Structure 1
Amino acid sequence: MKNESIQPPRFSSALDPIPDYLTHYFERTAGPFLNICDLDDEEVQKIREFELSNDIKWSRFKMWPEFMKSRKAADDLLMRLYEEKFQKSPAHRPVFAVLGDFHEIPCLYANPGSVRIEIADLREDEVTFMYPDHAHLIQFFDHDAPAFGVPLPENYSEERMPCWGKLFTYQDLHEIHVEYGIKKAIERCLNTPGSFVFSYVEAHIWTRDLKFTPIDHEPTGKCKKA
């Protein structure tokens, strides 16, 4: 880990140019680089009680009471896509981040922290991307777990929405993000009420051997409910 910290970017990143870094956001009371699906029931219950007792703007356990059942299903589907893409099973469940940064993500936490990770420090199979985030895989693959996050549009077709259900490498993004309309979709949805999950590219980190730089955040109070 590098000792120096950096200031958060002033604006949310888009895809012109494609950012060369990731931001991993986390709850400071728990620490970074965790996947909630790796925890036992008692540990998850503590997190649930903590989140429900704090005035978090977007509490996953309030919005989706069966969140853990859905999250595990979505993670499992994501891991299946990883295995299909790289022809090997992932060594771990992924740690989640965003490509570049997105200023609304800290609103998921009571006491948010974040770190920056340079994509150049990761191998191709150590970081993947998806748009929108992997929650949509439940409906995309018609899984029997409760849906959560962004719903699959009723008018979905691969021709109109080619990025859905696909896992990308960093190189893939460079090659297809214009053709697939990801950049335009993000710019259209950025800072639009109700379009939170369409405003960033989700990143998945598949290694625990990471170099990172802490980001200093000034408290703004913008994430608390009115």
Structure 2
Amino acid sequence: MAPVPDFLSHYYAAATGPFLNLSDLSLDDAERIQAALRTRGNTFASQRTPEYLQTRRQLEDRVRALFIDKGGQPQRQRPHYLILGACPWVQSWYIQGCELRIPLADFAPTILSFTYGDTFPAMRYQDGKPYRGQVYTLDELPELVAAFGLPQDWNADGSGGPDRYIEAQVWSDTPLQAYYVNQARPHPSDP
């Protein structure tokens, strides 16, 4: 049985810094940035479909509601995304990708939810896997990892489907503030 990692990772482009979130922007501003990324075509984010941002917001609303149903107390309308443990594949999405590791102990359980895999397949795929459509709490991680393992261990190359990591949704800015590079900077268009 794989142990539950004791840290969360956040991946980002060196040029922009960590914790820039398209979901924090108005839909128009986020669409403008996403269109610029598609035009450049040089990052993983450039492959996103035109309906990506609208779908993302719907899924975030669903994850938030499921988390609240389990006793979560989100302080943000939209989450910051991290990964349980490390996933070098995600780091490769970024030009000069960086990895930031934050101890899991730095997060209150009431502001931290998880999906088995990225939110998109976790909430949208209907392939009969028992973790689809589910949101997990910190207390549920040991049982989840014991049952299914860490996707980055058994599916590092993606040959086993879309589940490549356990995604963490952080519903508060407080534990991340020490890592913000410059909170007043404009949102860049090149993640």
TM-score range, shorter chain: 0.7 to 0.9
The aligned residue for residue 52 of structure 1 is 39
Larger Rg computed on CA atoms: 1
TM-score, normalising length from structure 1? Answer: 0.67
Which amino acid in the other structure matches residue 65 of structure 2?
R
Residue pair 1:190, 1:198 contacting (<8 A) in 2 also: no
Q: Does 1:174 align with 2:174?
A: no
Sort the Cα spacing of 1:192 and 1:42 in 2 relative to 1 into closer, same or farther, 3 A. Answer: closer
Q: Percent identity?
A: 24
Q: Looking at secondary structure, tell me which structure has more helix per residue.
A: 2
Whole-angstrom distance in 2 between the partners of 1:66 and 1:175? 34
1:110 aligns with 2:95: yes
Is the contact between residue 79 and residue 171 of structure 2 (CA under 8 Å) also seen in structure 1? Answer: yes
**Structure 2 CA distance for aligned equivalents of residues 109 and 52 of structure 1:** 16
- Residue of structure 2 in register with 1:164 after alignment: 132
* Alpha-carbon distance, 1:81 to partner: 1.0
Residue in 2 aligned with 1:8?
Answer: none
List gaps (5 residues or longer) in structure 1: 1-14, 140-150, 215-226
The total of aligned residue pairs comes to 177
| Matching of residue 152 in structure 1 with residue 126 in structure 2 | yes
Shift of 1:51: 5.0
Deviation at 1:87, TM superposition (A): 5.9
Shift of 1:24: 0.8
Amino acid across the alignment from 2:105? A
- 3-state SS of paired residue (1:178): helix
Q: RMSD of the TM alignment (CA)? A: 2.6
Alpha-carbon shift at residue 178 of structure 1 (Å): 2.1
The equivalent of 1:221 in structure 2 is none
- CA deviation after TM superposition for structure 1 residue 189, in Å: 1.9
Return the offset for 1:73.
1.1
The answer as to 2:117 corresponding to 1:128 is: no
Deviation at 1:130, TM superposition (A): 1.0
Distance 1:132 1:138 in 2: 9
Equivalent pair of 1:117/1:213 in contact (CA under 8 Å): no
> Kindly tell me: are residues 193 and 117 of structure 1, through their superposed partners in 2, closer, same or farther at Cα, counting changes over 3 Å?
same
Following superposition of structure 1 onto structure 2, how do residues 50-129 of structure 1 map, counting pairs within 5 Å? 50-56=37-43, 58-59=44-45, 61-86=46-71, 88=73, 90-92=74-76, 93-129=78-114
Q: Give the distance between the partners of 1:51 and 1:111, measured in 2 at CA.
A: 18
Question: Could you tell me which amino acid in structure 1 is paired with residue 12 of structure 2?
Answer: F
Provide, for residues 22-78 of structure 1, a one-character-per-residue CA deviation record: whole Å limited to 9, x for no partner.
00112344432233122122354134314531422x33x434221111111111111
Partner of 1:4: none
